[in-house]
């Protein structure tokens, strides 16, 4: 690759093949969250482990993020789902894929499962939820707040002091994204799947939460809503569990794929301890990707 044209969107794509040169056992597509997130949060965490285990690993920067194009408009959830569907088509992926979505990336994964159920073998949703009215209201508040805070120099200085210069750079970039595009207006205005559409998702779903995250409270509801869903909890972590504990998340992912009948290689590379970004908007509870 590393760039594909998705009907006018220049999309940054990376693909990791099994290092042993053997045919891949299955395809895993990794979908990141909003604002400060990008494919880096997968590339520097679980992606190498999945490839070493025999997976064809497909990652991309979602519209407006990373090295992909940043159109001024077009950020409703359905546009992100369109991009994922086109990515599979343009990447010549013909078999059902295992979707691993972090935060908003999981919401996109659920969206594809609603629209193209035959394309999805399973979903591993990390700190995520399907789109709903409550999700839309929550995202509206988070994005409005982020649009103000992430353009404020005092807030950015606070982020740099508490979380380091790299996180502050990500926050500043996220503020520019919100200022330059309609993302903050578009995401809450997304088309929301009906409850019947979510109940019709037949692929297996593993929902992973940090025990300290407010999203963990939705586990029982989601397990009851989706026909084949169960939850797993990572103790002592919140919304950033992927980048804070990639070893455990990687182990959960491998175990999940084995359950789905994927014949993994016996030897896997170690999951790196750090990541290139996270999915938070700033210092306080204003996290994104819900």
Task: Please tell me the predicted confidence (pLDDT) of residue 268.
Answer: 57
Q: State the residue range of the domain holding 11.
A: 3-130+191-259
Residue 78 falls within a domain, yes or no? yes
User: What residues of the chain score a pLDDT lower than 50?
Assistant: 269-270, 273-289
Task: Please tell me the predicted confidence (pLDDT) of residue 274.
Answer: 42
Q: Each residue of 236-245: pLDDT tens digit?
A: 999 999 999 9
Residue 180 falls within a domain, yes or no? no
In contact, 271 and 250? CB cutoff 8 Å: yes
Q: What is the CATH number of the domain that holds 108?
A: 3.40.50.1820
pTM (global) more than 0.85: yes
Both tokens assigned to 164 = 């380091």
Task: Please tell me the predicted confidence (pLDDT) of residue 266.
Answer: 77
Residue 31 falls within a domain, yes or no? yes
Residue 271 falls within a domain, yes or no? no
Residue 224 falls within a domain, yes or no? yes
Both tokens assigned to 104 = 């908003």
In contact, 36 and 173? CB cutoff 8 Å: yes
Residue 124 falls within a domain, yes or no? yes
Task: Please tell me the predicted confidence (pLDDT) of residue 284.
Answer: 31
Dihedral of alpha carbons 278, 210, 113, 189, sign: negative
- Residue by residue, what is the 3-state secondary structure of the chain? CCEEEECCEEEEEEEECCCCCCCCCEEEEEECCCCCCCCHHHHCCCHHHHHHCCEEEEEECCCCCCCCCCCCCCCCHHHHHHHHHHHHHHCCCCCCEEEEEECHHHHHHHHHHHHCHHHEEEEEEECCCCCCHHHHHHHHHHHHHHHHHCCCHHHHHHHHHHHCHHHHHHHHHHHHHHHHCCHHHHHHHCCCCCHHHHHCCCCCEEEEEECCCHHHHHHHHHHHHCCCEEEEEECCCCCCHHHHCHHHHHHHHHHHHHHCCCCCCCCCCCCCCCCCCCCECCCCCCECCC
Task: Please tell me the predicted confidence (pLDDT) of residue 282.
Answer: 30
The total of structural domains in the chain comes to 1
Residue 63 falls within a domain, yes or no? yes
Residue 142 falls within a domain, yes or no? no
């Amino acid at each position: 690759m590393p760039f594909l044209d998705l009907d006018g969107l220049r999309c940054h794509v990376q693909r990791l093949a099994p290092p042993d040169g053997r045919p891949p056992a299955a395809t895993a597509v990794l979908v990141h969250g909003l604002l400060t997130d990008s494919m880096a949060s997968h590339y520097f965490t679980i992606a190498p482990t999945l490839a070493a285990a025999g997976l064809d690993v497909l990652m991309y920067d979602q519209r407006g993020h990373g090295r992909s194009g940043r159109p001024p408009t077009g950020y409703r959830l359905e546009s992100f789902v369109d991009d994922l569907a086109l990515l599979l088509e343009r990447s010549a992926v013909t078999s059902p894929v295992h979707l691993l979505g972090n935060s908003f990336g999981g919401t996109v994964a659920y969206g594809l499962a609603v629209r193209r159920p035959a394309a999805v073998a399973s979903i591993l949703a990390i700190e995520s939820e399907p789109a709903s009215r409550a999700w839309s209201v929550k995202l509206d508040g988070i994005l409005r707040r982020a649009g103000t805070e992430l353009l404020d120099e005092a807030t950015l200085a606070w982020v740099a002091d508490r979380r380091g210069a790299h996180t502050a750079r990500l926050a500043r970039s996220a503020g520019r994204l919100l200022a330059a595009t309609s993302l903050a207006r578009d995401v809450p205005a997304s088309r929301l799947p009906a409850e019947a559409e979510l109940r019709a998702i037949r692929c297996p779903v593993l929902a992973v939460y940090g025990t300290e995250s407010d999203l963990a409270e939705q586990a029982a509801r989601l397990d009851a809503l989706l026909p084949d869903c169960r939850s797993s909890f990572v103790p002592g972590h919140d919304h950033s569990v992927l980048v804070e504990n990639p070893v455990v998340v990687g182990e959960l992912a491998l175990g999940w794929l084995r359950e789905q009948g994927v014949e993994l290689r016996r030897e896997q590379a170690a999951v790196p301890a750090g990541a290139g970004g996270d999915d938070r908007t700033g210092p306080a509870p204003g996290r994104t990707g819900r």
